[in-house]
A = this chain, B = another copy of it.
Amino acid sequence: MRTIYPITTLFLATSLLSGQIPEPSMETAECIMCHEMATPGIVKDWERSRHARTTPAQAMEVEDLARRMSGNSPPGEFLNTSVGCYECHSLNVNDHADAFEHFGFVVNVVVSPRDCAACHPDEQSQYDDSKKAHAIANLRDNPVYHALETEAIGMKMLDGDSLSSLEPSSHTAGEACYACHGTVLEVDGMRTVETDLGDVEVPNIKNWPNQGVGRINPDGSRGACTACHPRHGFSIEVARKAYTCAQCHVEPDVPAWDVWKESKHGNIVLSESSHYNWDAVPWKVGEDFNAPTCSVCHNALITDPLCDEVLAERTHNFSDRLWLRIFGLPTSHPQPKHGLTTVLRNPDGQPLPVTFDGRLAESGLLSAEEMQERQAVMSGVCGACHSTDWVNGHFAQFDAAVAEIDEMVLKTTSLMSRAWESGLADPSNPFDEPLEHLWVNQWLINANAARYASAMNGQDLAAFKYGWWGMSTNLRKIHKEVIEGQEAED
């Protein structure tokens, strides 16, 4: 058996040889003096990061596609220091409700996307229009989804023979739905914390800690870059690995990871990833990797091995290469035009992209032309390895399969409608009876599994893991109950 050569990174070695490792600012040096004792793990993590080894000025010297910093006007005082504690935590303290005086410095607790935008403005502005950035409102402020959320995670109250759901508590919500969607960070004065260095006054932040993608920050901004670039390495390697996306995009409701893992793409990446160059910018197909992770298809800047041709531009709006939304609510539909989806109104007047029987909220969704444009971008990524004919074949199969899956959902809903009409179920809340749970599972879990499986070739999620077998079982059960309930009434 061979093993790996335990020297430090090539990046580090190169930097050391060329003598270019920058000094931290005086302020950051002072932060580190305490924090390398108080929280040594994150200090060390940062020391290995690109932020610690590059100044904004150096980052701006990098040309063309290799450039990692989209901004051209970082704050002048930080131009020639490494990007350290003070540089990020003091950037816009006047906008931050969580800013506080801390051992002589005014800093804020939560570094927000708006702060990161000082050096990375393109990423922040792309992200800001995404569904991720609106992930709280899209769930909490949508009465239909919120009713489902309440049924799912709200404490149940038994009153005599009746069982009802309370509004979800903030802590359960913060651990379940809003762990991914993000919480609203509210500052409520200060509180005293006992530490090894004595009592310290810190802002009292409610619904904290949280790294959800739609987090509302104490400066009013939306999102958390740390959801994918975890603190304090902020690594591009981590963000490019599927484990990152798999924190939220997992079975049973959003089984992207699970499908990918059992696809040929996942098979190759998981088998060969130790040979990849996870850090290269641009990311060169065939040269740096030979099969895609989530990031390759959905957001990274991808080029051919010679960097002659950009196969896909970098984007931090993760819908930019998506045309059809296969996360069916309850059926698939064109992607919404904008990230804020609570404004959608379907023909029944509900704040949903489709009606329960499949009619579209057209004005808020992509047109056929816009869909085609986005699909062309994705096809360009596929085309890096696959012939045009292969790609066309895949998408033709996908279109036909998704149409069938939607049909299965609509048939299930038509049975539910019979139940609601006949009084077998109560439509006033369509989510709070055992039969209705089965119907929710049909579209939220089983049909989504089958659609994700179709998009990314996860055969078992199409067949026996949730997918078609599950859809067939649900439909049989609902059918039996509705027909027998009907007979009982006759």
On A, residues with C-beta under 8 Å from B are: 1-10, 36-45, 47-48, 109, 151-153, 155-156, 158, 161, 163, 165, 169, 171-172, 174-177, 179-180, 191, 193-195, 200, 202, 205, 208-209, 211, 230, 233, 235, 237-238, 241, 243-244, 246-248, 250-253, 261-264, 266-268, 270-272, 274-277, 285-291, 304-305, 309, 383-390, 392-394, 396-397, 400-401, 404, 407-408, 411, 414-415, 432-434, 437, 444-445, 453-454, 457, 459-460, 462-465, 467-469, 472-473, 475-477, 479-480, 483, 486
Contacts and interface: CB of A to CB of B under 8 A. Distances in A.
Given A45-B286, A175-B454, A253-B464, A40 B304 contact: yes
A147 to B, nearest CB: 13
Contact of A388 (B152, B195, B394, B432): B195
B266 A243 contact: yes
B10 A161 contact: no
11 contacts: A4-B5, A41-B285, A171-B401, A205-B393, A233-B290, A237-B272, A243-B266, A243-B271, A246-B262, A246-B267, A274-B274
Given A5-B4, A270-B241, A401-B171, A459 B161 contact: no
Contacts of A6: 2, 10, 277
State the number of copies, please.
3
A172 B468 contact: yes
Nearest to A482: B161
Contact of A176 (B3, B205, B394, B462): B462
A208 B392 CA distance: 10
A45 B175 contact: no
A191 B460 CA distance: 31
Contacts of A477: 434
A111 to B, nearest CB: 13
Contacts of A156: 408, 411, 472, 475
A291 B453 CA distance: 32
Contacts of A158: 411, 414-415, 479
B480 A433 contact: yes
Contacts of A480: 433-434
A144 to B, nearest CB: 16
A264 B211 contact: yes
A267 B290 contact: no
A276 B48 CA distance: 13
Given A42-B386, A176-B468, 4 more contacts: A2-B275, A3-B7, A41-B286, A152-B464
A252 B258 CA distance: 13
A357 to B, nearest CB: 14
Given A175-B462, A194-B388, A437 B476 contact: yes
Nearest to A262: B247
A153 B246 contact: no
Nearest to A481: B434
Contacts of A251: 460, 465
A153 B2 contact: no
A375 B206 CA distance: 22
A449 to B, nearest CB: 11
A377 to B, nearest CB: 14
Query: Considering residues A3, A7, A396, which has the most beta carbons from chain B within 10 angstroms of its beta carbon?
Result: A3
Contacts of A444: 464
A459 B205 CA distance: 21
B44 A290 contact: yes
A309 B37 contact: yes
Nearest to A153: B468
Nearest to A400: B171
Contact of A2 (B8, B233, B433): B8
A55 B315 CA distance: 43
A208 to B, nearest CB: 5
B41 A1 contact: no
